[in-house]
């Protein structure tokens, strides 16, 4: 048996890496965490570029697609990229402007109602005779507004003095700004040279991998890209439809915070299955600060809307494009959310969809080969029997 130096080097490298991982596990974990932390702007930039590219590619298909004018060809990418970024920013601004002001006013209303609610609770307990009279007298004489202020002061003191909090807020703010700037710069670079990067990656794959492996890599990456593209487009479309229907329905029923809750339900609906329910819970809580009857009406309305969305809208818009059964989507969201949180809910569905398509295609391929082999075997058997006869 011939011993190759390349094989020996690969085995020795794997054993050495395994030795490092076993004996220096803490050090390796710290190194990986630092590496991931340093790569956060690149990861965010890649995600931004992928989402913006969907809009940019659509704009490029409509930006004088048949024109061969040099000025048009030269300006197509930067103009469409700028338009795509402006579209994303406009969507974010609209959502924030619809949600934030009314949400803050609701919080202020809720805080102003707490003292009266506590006094009513004390009066109720006094009528029911649940609490001893001495305690009720002390509770009724308390200045609840002042007590709430004391509680807020205690919470502020618990989290540290004002200067430390200001320093932490400023540090976090500037760190977030730096990460955002680096992410956007990296996203712009990816979008501007995506064709060149695609060609370089293909050259690297062709240079270091065998033809069969290259074919499999391209096959898997094409399916994953198709699933993520369809998921983003379909989920966004479904979220917009759900948000509009929620807003229109609330306006018809004359429920408060219609535009705000509609925008919130639509925004949270980006998370499959459970997202809209989370937005509906927040909406019901906000409406309950105005009227409990209207909150109950909203809950009934949102349940009916969710049934309509789950049975008609989602299967048509998202489910059919991904090719996943509803039970698989629900299981994926549950497991992904339990392991990786919201990010697991969002990324789990397209990844499972890609795995589902790959496994389904492989099963069909193997089934077809098995049936072909059986047919060939039966033909050979019939031929032998005929020849023997």
* DSSP letter string, 310-345: IIIIHIIIIIHHHT--HHHHHHHHHHHHHHHTHHHH
Residue of 309, 182, 152 whose CA lies nearest to 244: 309
Burial 304-341 (b: 16+ CB within 10 A, else e): ebbeebeeebbeebbbebbebeeebbeebbeebbeeee
Q: Dihedrals φ, ψ of 161, to 5°?
A: -75, 170
Q: What was the pLDDT predicted at 86?
A: 93
CA 319 to chain centroid: 16
Going 78 to 81 to 83 to 85, the CA torsion angle's sign is negative
Residues contacting 311, CB < 8 A, separation 6+ = none
169: Cβ contacts below 8 Å, ≥ 6 apart: none
Whole-Å CA distances, 370 to 5, 31, 282: 40, 49, 54
Residue 46: exposure state from Cβ atoms within 10 A (0-12, 13-18, ≥19)? middle
- The pLDDT value recorded for residue 307 is 80
String of DSSP letters for 57-87 = HHHHHHSSTT---HHHHHHHHHHHHHHHHHH
Q: What is the phi-psi region of residue 271: left when phi exceeds 0, alpha when psi lies from -120 to 50, beta otherwise?
A: beta
pLDDT tens-place string over residues 307-364: 877 667 666 666 556 667 667 777 777 787 777 777 787 788 888 888 888 888 888 8
Q: Which of 337, 18, 52, 363 is nearest to 183 (CA)?
A: 52
For the stretch 7-27, pLDDT in tens is 777 777 778 777 777 777 777
Q: Are 48 and 187 in contact (CB under 8 A)?
A: yes
Instruction: Using alpha carbons, select from 159, 214, 194 the residue that is nearest to residue 45.
Output: 194
The domain locations on the chain are: 40-115+130-192, 217-372
pLDDT at 82: 93
Q: Are 42 and 179 in contact (CB under 8 A)?
A: no
- Name the stretches of the chain with pLDDT < 70: 1-6, 109-167, 169, 273, 310-311, 313-323, 325-326, 382-389
Token code pair at residue 52:
């913006």
């Amino acid at each position: 048996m011939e011993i190759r130096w390349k094989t020996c080097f690969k085995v020795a490298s794997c054993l050495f890496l395994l030795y490092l991982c076993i004996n220096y596990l803490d050090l390796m974990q710290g190194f990986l965490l630092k590496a991931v932390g340093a790569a956060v702007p690149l990861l965010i930039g890649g995600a931004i570029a992928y989402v913006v590219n969907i809009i940019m590619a659509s704009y490029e298909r409509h930006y004088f697609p048949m024109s061969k004018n040099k000025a048009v060809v030269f300006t197509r990418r930067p103009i469409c990229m700028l338009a795509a970024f402006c579209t994303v920013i406009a969507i974010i601004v609209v959502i924030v402007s619809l949600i934030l002001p009314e949400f803050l006013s609701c919080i202020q209303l809720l805080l102003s109602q707490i003292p009266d609610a506590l006094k009513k609770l004390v009066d109720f307990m006094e009528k029911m005779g649940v609490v001893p009279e001495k305690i009720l007298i002390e509770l009724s004489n308390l200045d609840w507004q002042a007590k709430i202020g004391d509680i807020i002061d205690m919470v502020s003191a618990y989290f540290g003095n004002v200067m430390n909090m200001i320093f932490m807020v400023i540090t976090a703010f500037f760190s977030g700004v730096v990460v955002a700037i680096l992410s956007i710069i990296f996203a712009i670079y990816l979008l501007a040279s995506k064709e060149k990067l695609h060609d370089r990656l293909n050259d690297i794959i062709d240079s270091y991998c065998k033809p069969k492996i290259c074919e499999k890599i391209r096959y898997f990456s094409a399916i994953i890209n198709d699933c993520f593209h369809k998921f983003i487009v379909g989920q966004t479309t479904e979220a917009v439809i759900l948000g509009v229907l929620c807003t229109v329905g609330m306006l018809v029923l004359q429920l408060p915070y219609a535009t705000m809750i509609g925008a919130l339900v639509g925004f949270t609906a980006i998370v499959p299955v459970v997202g809209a329910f989370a937005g509906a819970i927040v909406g019901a809580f906000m409406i309950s600060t105005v009227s409990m009857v209207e909150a109950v009406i909203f809950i009934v309305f949102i349940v009916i809307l969710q049934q309509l969305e789950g049975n008609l809208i989602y299967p048509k818009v998202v489910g059919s494009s991904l090719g996943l059964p509803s039970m698989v989507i629900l299981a994926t969201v549950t497991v992904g959310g339990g392991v990786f949180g919201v990010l697991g809910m969002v990324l789990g569905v397209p990844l499972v969809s890609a795995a589902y398509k790959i496994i389904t295609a492989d099963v069909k391929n193997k089934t077809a080969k098995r049936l072909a082999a059986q047919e060939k075997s039966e033909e050979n058997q019939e031929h032998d029997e005929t020849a023997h006869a």
